């Protein structure tokens, strides 16, 4: 089910059908059953090796790789088995609060790897976010990311990083943040697989080391020109979109 807390995720799906987007709804339990069925999959070792090579030594949790590789194979097999007559597949997955404790990790890094291959994955069952990612891939021929954007850039960051270096005022800037679903190829070299701070505090014992809240991809997005875009359905069922360019 889509979370009620986020309007963007809980928006009417009427607009999706008008665009010809077909939605197949599956429960987290269905996904968990499929994930468990992939235990000891012979392909896991190769995926683990690929993850380690992608991240580099010291930038991942070795004991977590097998869990994440098992999930990656689960999603890839799910896409192949469920796409039917369609050419393209996108996922809008639920990632909290039950996911980490039941699957044993956070799915963010795995999501980022699928996006880097042209399979859009959004979190929090954000269907319009997944569709926006797909549109972004089609327009650019490149991979994309999905961020929460607001205008709350702290003045000290503006003063340290922007003032005097670029011709922008504080109100020209925005903050883009997410739990860790951006493909590593679009991030700075010091990116690493880490853990979700808020969920660690809420879901795991106080004072404990992170366990099942590990799996986010943490770091800064590499500097570049950008286009940011969102397609959304409003509360009255009307499709709306926003697009802008940035530096």
pLDDT in tens, 33-88: 999 999 999 999 999 999 999 999 999 999 999 999 999 999 999 999 999 998 99
Question: Would you state the structure tokens that stand for residue 6, as one six-digit string?
Answer: 């986020």
Could you tell me the pTM of the whole model?
0.92
Q: Any residues with CB less than 8 A from the CB of 17 and at least 6 apart, and which?
A: none
Q: Which two tokens stand for residue 105?
A: 């990790």
Task: Enter the DSSP assignment of 208.
Answer: P
160 located within any domain: no
Domain tally, the chain:
1
Q: What's residue 186's pLDDT?
A: 96
187 in helix, strand or coil?
strand
Is residue 218 domain-resident? yes
Task: Report if residue 173 sits inside a domain.
Answer: no
Q: How far apart are CA 159 and CA 39, in angstroms?
A: 50
- Whether residue 156 is contained in a domain is answered as no
SS3 label, residue 39: coil
- Mean pLDDT (the chain) is 93
| pLDDT tens-place string over residues 151-187 | 889 999 999 999 999 999 999 998 888 888 999 999 9
Phi and psi, residue 166, nearest 5°: -135, 150
Asked whether 119 and 77 are in contact (CB, 8 A), the reply is: no
In a domain, 61, yes or no: yes
- The residue segments making up the domain with residue 32 are 13-146+181-246
> Tokens 């509360």 correspond to what residue?
235
Class of residue 58 by CB neighbours under 10 A (exposed 0-12, middle 13-18, buried 19+): exposed
Q: Is 174 part of any domain?
A: no
């Amino acid at each position: 089910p889509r979370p009620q807390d986020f309007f963007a995720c809980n928006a009417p799906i009427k607009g999706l059908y008008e665009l010809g987007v077909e939605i197949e709804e599956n429960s987290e339990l269905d996904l968990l059953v499929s994930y468990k069925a992939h235990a000891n999959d012979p392909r896991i070792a190769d995926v683990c090796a690929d993850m380690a090579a992608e991240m580099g030594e010291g930038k991942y949790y070795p004991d977590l790789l097998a869990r994440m590789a098992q999930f990656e194979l689960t999603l890839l097999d799910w896409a192949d088995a469920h796409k039917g007559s369609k050419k393209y597949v996108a996922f809008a997955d639920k990632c909290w609060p039950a996911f980490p404790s039941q699957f044993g990790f956070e799915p963010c890094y795995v999501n980022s790897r699928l996006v880097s291959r042209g399979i859009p994955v959004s979190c929090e069952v954000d269907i319009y976010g997944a569709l926006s990612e797909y549109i972004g891939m089609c327009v650019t021929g490149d991979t994309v990311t999905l961020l929460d954007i607001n205008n709350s850039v702290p003045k000290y960051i503006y003063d340290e990083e922007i003032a005097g270096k670029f011709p922008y005022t504080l109100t020209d800037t925005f903050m883009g943040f997410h739990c860790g679903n951006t493909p590593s190829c679009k991030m700075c070299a010091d990116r690493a697989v880490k853990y979700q701070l808020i969920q660690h505090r809420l879901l795991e014992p106080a004072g404990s080391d992170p366990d099942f809240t590990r799996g986010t991809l943490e770091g800064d997005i590499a500097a570049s020109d950008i286009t940011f875009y969102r397609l959304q359905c409003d509360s009255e069922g009307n499709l709306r979109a926003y697009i802008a360019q940035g530096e």
